[in-house]
Structure 1
């Protein structure tokens, strides 16, 4: 069999991830490869750490990417601090809270959960009350839940955790670089991001940061792990409840040795991916964090205005909406997958379905990173209107694009006034 040159179709990707990659990132990915200990490359590593600190708004020493998709960062963080029998509280308001629960259980944690209806988030006091009741070592939770398009406030939770010596670990994969995250101000101990969403870099790295409270836990386990010389000693140490970190690849103590000044060999770094991450971070900081957040809010507002003017109903509590994901209820007697397929086949636009109880009941439209552009919003609204009409759904023809254009026009006028 003869294989032809790779030629993927052009798409307008409006899912909650992965999203379209910025062309400047694509160019950076083609930069010539350097050796992982070449001074020119270790200098790039240092720049990436410095830029991540600015993005995360933290002074943490440790801010670096874990090689692998976002889940690798989540696992690295949790497997490095969870010891069998540790109490972990996981507030669940969507699919990815269940994922955190599963990961914690796999590493032997005694997991406590609390749930609220999908489409809502928790009152922070309810989580604080549960922390007081359970007294966990770790509270692990999602910030931006893409399955429901909701965003959980954190600032009160972090302060309570800090005062009561509870580690707060946050999955911010869907929100970093698209909306404000304040690691130090919100007292977040460990945070995980991803490249394939608002950073507009291909999937394959999980930027993380953590503070000295988490480093202390890691260091204590590192000492146990590397100080054991015999199987009998290891069994005795495990019996005292201090087992070593199970994963080698995701062991943060080893990754610290690699990313720190010692540069001890642990794995072969994903050189080209790091180039892409560096360029993605550079573009974020060059745009300016507040300007970038405002851009995401503007295009979200235009999309929402268009969808509602068309006659569609949004899903979820608007007071806790995630600005990078908009969830739309599928009209009654409409084949949700048929609409998605026609959007892709006829217009080259991809939108997403959801998971679990929301499968087939909502569409999820992402406005993230490089995909979050005026032309994409207008194109998506126009295509969705046409496809819904072909599916015999009653819509208000022509209203969606006009409402979105009104949003953009108002924003321009307000900017001129400023």
Structure 2
């Protein structure tokens, strides 16, 4: 019989746009004893998780709970539950994950209307508002923070325009929740999807979501139709009922309600992890946490600029938790990444699509977002670039970052 070695993953400094390093308190929580999913002690943990998610999403929505699955499961659960075949779905695309919203919407039978922006920039909200009034979509699906381009989309007035036209505004906040303000109620967002493996510093495997009574009304209407057909012994009508059983918000909200109607077996250890991660976020306080992310981003940028590297994208819409760097001409970006990983234990990200081979992406998210990591990655990147023969301003990166930290500032230096 083949013998396998003990599991012993290497310790890494993970500075990607996700996943990121997990807080040791979250890892400890995952080791706790398993409770049954209907054990009163466990259902109380479910209730506490919902309460904390309301604070995280800055909402009074009743429905705040996680979907068991990676971040994409949350996006799919919301879109599958609200899109009926023939619905118009407006998707403003300014990076890879806008295209994901298009793909899922098309699979739901939607008539997708795309607005496209060159990667590295975002939309003026007025462009989107104009399209909402012109095309009268049933759903507007948008990405808040695009990790593929390091850009963040402003939402000024978009929620109000959706209310005026009776459109549902669905927002992918996977990259921003817990690191950047996501004001669900103030921005009039109807449904928001978050992720655990980025700014929350919880392992991938859950997708926190929230949605309001406007979304619930559509979910319940489809659920009523489905129940009526079932009672008559008729087959479900495509489009009138939700195509997915697992991602059916109507059934999921029954599971998370006091009724506790069985739908699936909850991922016990992941719920422990999410609850502990949320507790840590709220203990730090949201505004202080957002300021921490801005501060370490700015220190990283100070060092990169002092080194002589160029940032990618419009600085006016830079995502505070992801920094994109243009790979210097003639440099093998993958060779640099490999040396950072193998010699220093540091992981940064490459890119894909039209940016493949053109940029590196460094994340400053959650537990990974700290001074030690920023200084470590700057020092290592400088050494690796010098090894690769790149003409940079040697010795200046760490000094610039240290000077920034000494000033205790937050503003981007370049």
Q: SS in structure 2 opposite 1:169?
A: strand
* Map of 1:109 onto structure 2: 110
Question: Structure 1, residues 226-278: CA drift from partner, whole Å, max 9, x if none?
Answer: 1113898446x55xxx5210100000000011000100110000000000000
1:147 aligns with 2:148: yes
- What is residue 376 of structure 2 aligned with on the other side? 379
CA–CA separation in structure 2 for the residues paired with 1:159 and 1:340:
44
1:85 maps to which residue?
86
Aligned residue pair count: 410
| 2:339 counterpart of 1:339 | no
- Which one is further off, 143-152 or 160-169? 160-169
* 2:134 aligned residue: 133
Structure 1 distance, partners of 2:241, 2:381, is 52
Quote how far apart the aligned CAs of 1:222 are: 0.2
The answer to whether structure 1 residue 40 and structure 2 residue 41 are counterparts is: yes
Tell whether 2:283 aligns with 1:286. Answer: yes
TM-score normalised over the length of structure 1: 0.96
Correspondence for 1:182: 183
- SS of the counterpart of 1:363? strand
Give the gaps of 5 or more residues in structure 2: none
1:391 maps to what in 2?
A: 388
CA distance in 1, matches of 2:63, 2:338: 43
Q: Which residue does the alignment assign to 2:202?
A: 201
Check conservation: 2:291, 2:410, Cα contact below 8 A: no
Alignment match, 2:358 = 361
- Matching residue within 304, 319, 322 for 2:301: 304
Quote the Cα distance in structure 2 between the aligned partners of 1:412 and 1:322: 18
TM-score, normalized by length of structure 2?
Answer: 0.97
Helix, strand or coil for the counterpart of 2:408? helix
Off by >3 Å, runs of 4+ in structure 1 = 229-235
For 1:346 and 1:159, the matched residues in 2 are separated by 51
Q: Spell out, residue by residue over 1:180-228, the C-alpha distance to the aligned partner (whole angstroms, 9 max, x if none).
A: 1100000000000000000000000000000000000000000011111
Query: Of 396, 399, 405, which residue of structure 2 is paired with 1:402?
Result: 399
1:96 matches 2:93: no
TM-superposed CA distance for 1:133, in Å, is 1.3
Q: Deviations over 1:344-377 (max 9, x none)?
A: 0100100001110001100000000000010000
Per-residue deviation, 1:5: 1.2
Higher mean displacement: 264-273 or 403-412? 403-412
Q: Which segment is superposed worse, 69-78 or 156-165?
A: 156-165
1:375-408: CA deviations, max 9, x gaps?
A: 0000000000000001100111110000000110
Please provide the CA RMSD for this pair: 1.4
Paired residues of 2:298 and 2:410 also in contact (CA < 8 A): no
How far apart are the structure 1 equivalents of 2:99 and 2:409? Answer: 42
